[in-house]
Structures are given as structure tokens and as C-alpha cells.
A and B are shown apart, each in its own frame.
Chain A
Amino acid sequence: MAVKKDYKDQKLSEKLRDRKYYIPDSNPEFIKDVEKIGQTAAHMCYQCGTCTGSCPSAPRSSYRIRLFMRKSILGLEEEILTDPDLWLCTTCYSCTDRCPRDLAPTDAIMAMRNLAFKRDIIPRNFLQTVQLIYKSGHGVPNNDANRAARKRLGLDEEPETTHKYPEYLPGIRKILDHYRLKENADRILAQGE
């Protein structure tokens, strides 16, 4: 376990924080959860860096997908789930396409995000999408300007989706409610305000 230094000066305490890796600080189950959700054998990563070398987010940020793979193998759950970089993957799948170990680092990242959500760690925009879909069936719903344009094109103002057939919305809401997604989204968003 990392040595607890209860220095009175908080700044000094953080500056001199014990940075060693200690087995008790890690969660060996974490990698198993990642693999189960992501459906990929993440523990087989041999840290070649093909993923980071392929990553469009890496050159403009501190996001290193290879490090997420490494940390998940070491069970550094806390570090992973609280890292804001976790949300910088554009899911372009270039790393997955090129991974010589035939892993899907993208899906491992998605799994880590799923695990973060279980602890209410999730960017707000993701949850706003949930709310929009709950309301209208669409993540990007129709608007008046668009309705006018549709009319001009000879299309119905509302597309042939839940917009035109709102009778399908209860079914969608049932699915979302089954996973208590709307409820959780509302709750987490309210907490952040």
C-alpha cells in the first residue's frame, strides 16, 4: 500500500505523494471486467505501441491508449476511471485494425467507459443524448428550420421515424427504463448542476 503521508501542508502532501506501484492498491478483477464487457483478451497486450502510433487523438493530447491497456492489466482501476483522457477516444478503430495481438483496444476503452459509468463517471454530453432519445427517439431531433427545408424538398415535415410515429416511443422508453438509463442520466446530470 502506498505510504500515507499526512503532511499538514496539503500541497506538499500531493507533491511528495508515494508513486510506487503496490499490489494492494490494484484491483486484479478490473482486467476481467474489461475483457468481459469489451469481448477482447486485453491481458495479452505486449505494449508495442501500434495503438498509440495509430491514434488520431494521441498527437494532440496526453491520451495514450497503450497506457490504458497497461494500467488495466495492472489493475489500476482508480487511475483509469478518473482519467479525463479516457473520453478522448474517437473510436476510429485504427488501433484495433492494426493490433498485432489481434486485440480490440477500442472495445477495451469502451468497456472501461462502461465501468466508469457504473460509478457515475461520465461526460455530460453523453447523458444529454440519452435524454434526447428518451424524449424523441432521436439523438439529434428535428427542428423548425429543418421542417421547412423538408417541406421544400417534398418530404414530410417529420421523417418516417419516431418523429412521425410517436406511438413507438413507449417501447423505446421501456428499453431505456429496463436499464434505468434515463433515471441515472437525470440523477447524474442534476448532481453536476
Chain B
Amino acid sequence: MTTALSMRGLRKSYGPNEVLRGVDLDFVGGEVHALLGPNGAGKSTLLGCLSGAVRPDSGVVVIGDDTHEGFTPQQAFDAGTAIIYQHFQLIDDLSVADNLYLGGELKSRSGTTRIGEQVATANRVLRSVGADFDATQLVGTLSVGQRQLVEIAKAIRHRPSLLILDEPTAALSADEAQLLLGLVQRLAHDDGIAVVYVTHLLREVLQVSDRVTVLRDGEVLWTHDTAELGMDDLIAAISTTAGQAASADSRPASSSSDRVLLDVRDFSVAGSPPIDLSVHDGEIVGIFGLLGSGRTNLVEGLAGVRPTAGTVTLSGREVSTRSPSHARADGVVLVASDRKEQSLFGSMSAMENLLMPHYSVLSTPWRKRSRESQIFDGIAEMVHLRPARATLEADSFSGGNAQKLAVGRWLGQLGTASVMLLDEPTQGVDVGAREEIYHLLRTFARLESKAVLFVSSDPEEVLALADRIVVLVDSVVAGVLPATVDEQELVALAHSDGPAGAAFPTEGLSHV
């Protein structure tokens, strides 16, 4: 076995934020090496350093006899590194062969493309990855699993010594995923490629990898042979239990009553299996699940963004989920993830951003500037907006203050919403502002006939904010847990196979 690639002392910071703090790691030919780590551990940055997308501040990458202090993507390619991203980089309207040769077409002497030769070679590569379709087919007609094979064919056509796969099964069905895992092992064991396999699915790690490295806070926590490891080791490694104790201590008493405020029955979003869910008056419910668990679909469905089936009632009155304006009229509002794209009006002022949903209500029919600024001042003070300047453009605010603008819309005098839905409420928000936003949400929930339902991929956030936790697996409720649950149990349930194969009790959990 030869070392295909070594990293020594890789460091990378973004501003004051140290993402990689001296990573040493070796990838060996003929081995599948799984890379694990909680969100923010530095996985994407590490991959970026290998693909040439990110230039490390210090440290080296050694490939064979060459020592690199950072690549361009072209140099990474020349050095024999291939990376397959989570999102396919294929063009639907071109054939498989054309995609494989895009930008590196086989040319005849007169400059025309040698199509026949491309198709023949492409077909040979496709057979070697176990594909059963022809290279002349358009990529757009292929299934997701078949497209993944095209991506792999494209990567191995150049006979790389290192192949990096980033969450390759995220979009695949269970059967397709199994086929892919088999292929990944053949590529490593038979062809001698060093495969780096990034995933958050622990059962895949155990099944496919020969060695596991866990990253945490920009450092290698440990590297072990997979044969020595069990599921418990992996769960312990990606949970960050230290943070949980603190947040559990500081957690304020729940304000929830026994009265059901939001009742969701047989609710299905865009064809997903129907689920039931209830949120009590004064309660903050957290939805936890992995990428692809249907967590975002659920809140977007409730807010009227996606087509739904089933019934939603608020204090017994039916809520329309036909559109966001219908849902809002019935008291359900959404603070979407990715506030720049989905929540804020970047070039408009802070005041306009806060008041946008309310101009109609505030006007008679004329707008009253004095009343508008009075309401803005009230909300800005309540959410501690900094700087509290009405005319400043939304784009000029930091992440935390921008999120206060998005959340603040539904607070204060204008708070006609009864249930606030939030998707990743503190994504890209610094720690201080995060606590402030939690406080705002708790204060909101405590008002009469209000509740909060939020989605998060961060177990710490769910444990810190929620009164009750709903775990989604494959768009189905895998379990409902109390807020006092141990972080490892929570993460383990989200990694389980859903309610059928759940090894964890969902009721009567012993309190820690």
C-alpha cells in the first residue's frame, strides 16, 4: 500500500474564525477512508484544500514526491485528484459521452470531434463502473443513481490516484446507494485508488470504509481502522456533549400549556408519507433530522410554500396552506433558511425590511411615516438591532442582526402570527446574537396563544431551544423526545432507519 496523498499542518482561517487548525492526514491507495465530523468541523474546507478550491494559510499537501503549498483546481487535477460533489456537475441536454469529454473532446486533425471514439471509450468506462445504459443517452433521461455513475465514470476516466466523494448517497434510493457502496469498494480494493468518503450516515461508514477519521473543531480527533469501531464510537465522536450540559443548565423553564395550538393531521408535503404533529400553546418544538430527512419540506409545507395534503388547524380553526399569504392570514408564518436569498430585501432599508409584511395593515389607505418609524423603533429596541438605524440597507447588517430583521417582522405590535416557523434560525449567526434570538423566540412563545416550530441540523441548537424534539427520518417521525434527552441519543435516533428499525424508545425516556 502506498500513500497517495499526505497533508501536513494544514491551517486555514476566515477572518478571526479558525476553520482548520493544523491537520495531518494520510490517504492510502487501495483504501476507503471515511471522513466524519459534526457541522462546522472543517470538512468542506479540508476538501476544498484537496480540490484546489481553497488555498490553505499554511501547511503542505504531499503527492508522491511533490510537495504543494496549495493548488489551483487544474494542478489538483494534474496531480491525480478527482472530486465528486454533492450536487452533480452534469449537463442534462448533452449525452453521457459528451459530458464525459466536456472541455477535453477528442479532436481529429481537422478539428472536428471524434464522436464515435468518444462514445466507444465512454461505454468502456461505463461498463467498468457497472452502468447498464449507453453513452449516447442524454443525461437528462437518467435516474439520479445513473447520473451518480456518470459522475464517477467522468472522474475515473483520467485514472486518478485519489477520488473524493462528498455525500454521494444523499440523493440516492436505498438500492442505488448499496450499488454505489459496492462500486466504491471495488474502486479502492481492485483498482488501488485512494478513496475519501465524506458522509454523515454512520451505517455507511461502517459498511464501506477501511479507516475512519473524525474531524472536530478543525482538528483530527482520531483515526482508526473501521474494524475496531462500533456504532457507539461513531455516535460519540460526532456528538459534542460538552456544549449540551451548559445549555441544559441555562435553559429557562418551559412556558408550554396542555392546550394544543397547532394540530397537524395526515400532513403530506409533495408526496411524502403523511405525518401527525401537534404543538402546544406556549411551546417551542424543534424538528431535528439529517439532510434529506424532509425537515425543510415540512415547515415549508406548513407555511404554504409547497403543495400539501392533510389538515392543519390552529386553535380548532383550519389553516390554509395554499400560499404563504393564505397561511399568514390564518396565523402561520415562516422565517426561511438562507435569509439573503429568501428573507431579506438586501437593497431596501432596515425599516422597510421589518415592515414589509405589514404595510397594508398600517395604511388607511395612506401610509403614515410617523407611525411606521414608531413601530420600527419599538421592534429595533426589542430585538436589540445594531446599528438601530432605520435607513441602513439590510445588506449592511451582520448575520445576527440581519436575522433579527427577519424574525422581528413577526414580533411586537405587529405580531399577528400565532405560530412562527423557522428553518435553521441561527445559521451564520454569531454566538452572542444566537442567544439573543433564542431569547426573542422564547419571549414570543410565552405570549398568549403563540408557539414556535423550528427546524435545525444542529443538535446543540435543538437541545438548547426546544421544549420538545421531533426527529424526522425519511420524512417520517422517527420519535418525539423530551428536551432533556442526551445529545448522543438524539443524534443516534436521527441516524436510525426510522420508526420501523428504531432501536430507541420514543416514550418515557429516563431523564438525565
Asked if A and B bind, the verdict is no
